[in-house]
Structure 1
Amino acid sequence: MPPLAQYHPNRLISRVPFRVTGLDFTGAFKVYNSHVDFVFILLFTCAVTRAVAVEVTTFLTVIEFVQAVRRFAAQFGMPDCVVSDNAFTFQAGQTLLTELMHHPVIDGFKSSHNLTWKFITPCAPRQGAFMKG
């Protein structure tokens, strides 16, 4: 087995939790109500403290993803840096979130906030653990 890479600098600098956040979807999980539904879980992982926050979505759409990020941001604040894989939902969501953050009418986001989004190299899941690539 090859040696592990060095820790990413974002993991070594003391910060407020969730300023540097990794995210990924997991699921589908069956939920039994009056009928069977499926839900997906969006995991937010703090790069520094390794804390985890969870948001539940019913679909893997861009709109549901953006709504989950807004719920997360309402509780923990908007991250400065997000690390994710290259899923279409994350790429389109990043574009939509960037537009929302710079829109003068939309509240809930600071227009001066600069969100940095880093997509890991395709087919390199170990980079999602905040290692140097």
Structure 2
Amino acid sequence: MRTLLCAALLSVTTLPAFADDTSAVGLWKNIDDKTGKPKAEIRISESNGVLHGRVEKLYRGPGEDQNPICDKCEGEDKGRPIVGLSIIDGMKKDGDGYSGGTILDPENGKVYKSKMKLVDGGRKLDVRGYIGVPMLGRSQVWVRQE
């Protein structure tokens, strides 16, 4: 009986550690499509069926500004620190992916239409930002963090 109780407690207390592989909600490390190196960690959350994402951490080299601001952003985001900046907005479930939202590239300050799709059993997220049609854009693979 004691073993059963311990197993039950262990399974309940470890449930939050396992990511929901059917949802993009969670912490993601984005990998630069040009260099193959990690750039940032983004926390995706959901509110009323809509996904939003904020930068939680940047991976910066020793000679780079460790707390850069979005000097190329427009509107209320101009001059804000990139860490804490909302970069994903309005993404909604669309079949086996997400679409209908936007993604901000803090490097150039531009906002793009976006679509995302979970791959590799929910361990990776294909993120595409584009202008007009998805063919005219750029993709990154984000890796789920525990």
TM value normalised by structure 2? 0.32
Larger helix proportion of the pair:
1
Which protein has greater RCO, CA pairs closer than 8 Å, 6+ apart? 1
